[in-house]
Each structure stands twice: as structure tokens, then as C-alpha cells.
Amino acid sequence: MGTEAMYLSYEPELTALIGKAAYAKLAELCAARAKRGLVATHPATEAASRSKKSR
């Protein structure tokens, strides 16, 4: 897991793709979600965890 959220580390690329205004809204929504602690675990990580528990 990285130390920085992807929307932050890919800011230049995302801004080039969607524009400054859209990126600003995306960053606002992502920051609000992170503040609430709503972080999704990758499905492969969940599957690996279940696999280890069933051994």
C-alpha cells in the first residue's frame, strides 16, 4: 500500500485528462471520503486474507 492517495500522486495526469475544475471536485470528494474512513480493500487482498484464515 502506498503512503499517498492515488488521486494525489496522479494529480498532474488526472488534471491533464479531466481539467483543473473536475480534478478539484474529485480531490474534494476523495478527501471527504478518506476523512470518513471509507477506504475500500482491494478484492484480491480480501481473497488472500480469507484464504489464509481457512488454512
Q: What would the pLDDT profile of 17-33 be if each residue is shown by its tens digit?
A: 999 999 999 999 999 99
Q: Report pTM.
A: 0.67
Give me the torsion for CA of 6, 26, 34, 46, rounded to 10°: -60
1 — pLDDT class (breaks 50, 70, 90): low
- What is the average per-residue pLDDT within 25-46? 88
Gap between the Cα atoms of 26 and 37, Å rounded = 17
- What is the average per-residue pLDDT within 24-48? 88
Provide the residue ranges of all domains of the chain, joining segments of one domain with +. 6-53
